[in-house]
Amino acid sequence: MVVMSKPAMEHHCAATTLFPEIPLIDLSKPDSKNLIVKACEEFGFFKLINHGVPTEFITRLESEAIKFFSLPLSEKEKAGPVDPFGYGNKKIGSNGDVGWVEYILLTTSNEANYQKFSAIFGEAAEKFRFAVNDYVSAVKKMAYEILEMLADGLKIQPRNVFSKLLMDEESDSAFRLNHYPPCPELNQETNGMNLIGFGEHTDPQIISVLRSNNISGLQISLKDGNWISIPPDQNSFFINVGDSLQVMTNGRFNSVRHRVMANGSKSRLSMIYFGGPPLSEKIAPLPSLMKGEDSLYKEFTWYEYKKSAYKSRLADNRLGVFEKIVAS
């Protein structure tokens, strides 16, 4: 199934040069904590360099992912369906969303992830497992550091107020490998329209850490609703504020709406770590950030929000049902 988006293309082409550049954060610089706070307030998104994730972990996982996605579809489907983890193709979630994408969705805490892959890879499944574990371990460490720098920048204690939720043994985090195959028909038949690789959405978790190869496709929505393309950089990471972090900061941080457009001739590969809290964790604005303000959100557990989010369509405002109605 091919999903087109002509208005989005027109929106994007009309005004990209008028927008400020996406924040660039150098994790090795002492002033990073304040710049990260500013980026989360203004964009809910930033690019990260000097991140400390070893290049060999990135290249090894990319190589293993390419091997998997290069297999015949009938072989890959042995690792499916997504229930809730495994291999998926075009179908995103269970509510009718589709895209020009195939993917592997894994939990970050369960060795059972890899049983499906043993049937396909045999002994090579171990190599795939080690590549994922090494990469995810390094990215988690970076995510903890970012969240602790955020706490420092916000001047709140303890500084692990966010990171401890990801460090918790019960943390409900996930890892995703997305492959957007080339679509030759895009250039021939779509008359200038865009092909949706992964439809617009926000991430429900606390923080998402994205890395892709050097093929473009990622776009984010600014607060005014205009979409801008993010130039790819395979040596950097991109960080998304998730819905849960927006709530914990009482709307001070912005959960970024984003999407991926497919490419007519080149294959795009991305890897995303979604840092989530334990299922029983209550998600509510931090009292230390309220300063006499009223909460914009009803309190809920991560389990309640996750259940609600996954019943919705990708583009829905998932936080809408948890927002408090303010009397005028």
Annotated active-site residue 268? The verdict is yes
Residue 97 gets the label, from left (phi > 0), alpha (psi -120 to 50) or beta, of: beta
Task: Please list, residue by residue across 24-55, b when 16 or more beta carbons sit within 10 angstroms of its beta carbon and e when fewer do.
Answer: ebebeeeebbebbbebbeebbbbbbeebebee
Q: Which two tokens stand for residue 254?
A: 């912005």
Of 211, 268, 313, 318, the catalytic one is: 268
Distances (CA, A) of 48 to 39, 52, 225, 312: 11, 10, 24, 31
Q: Say how far apart CA 59 and CA 131 lie, in whole Å.
A: 9
Label residue 231 exposed, middle or buried (CB < 10 Å: 0-12, 13-18, 19+). exposed
Residues 66 and 181: beta-carbon distance below 8 Å: no
Residues 90 and 132: beta-carbon distance below 8 Å: no
Distances (CA, A) of 247 to 73, 275, 281, 299: 40, 15, 13, 9
Provide the edge-to-edge strand list for the sheet that holds 227-229: 196-201, 258-261, 218-221, 227-229
Distances (CA, A) of 51 to 29, 132, 145, 227, 239: 11, 18, 10, 27, 11
Residues 272 and 210: beta-carbon distance below 8 Å: yes
Amino acid at 204: P
The secondary structure of residue 261, as a DSSP letter, is: E
Q: Say how far apart CA 156 and CA 321 lie, in whole Å.
A: 28
The candidate with the shortest Cα–Cα distance to 143, out of 27, 301, 41, 255, is 27
Residues 242 and 282: beta-carbon distance below 8 Å: no
**Catalytic residue list:** 268
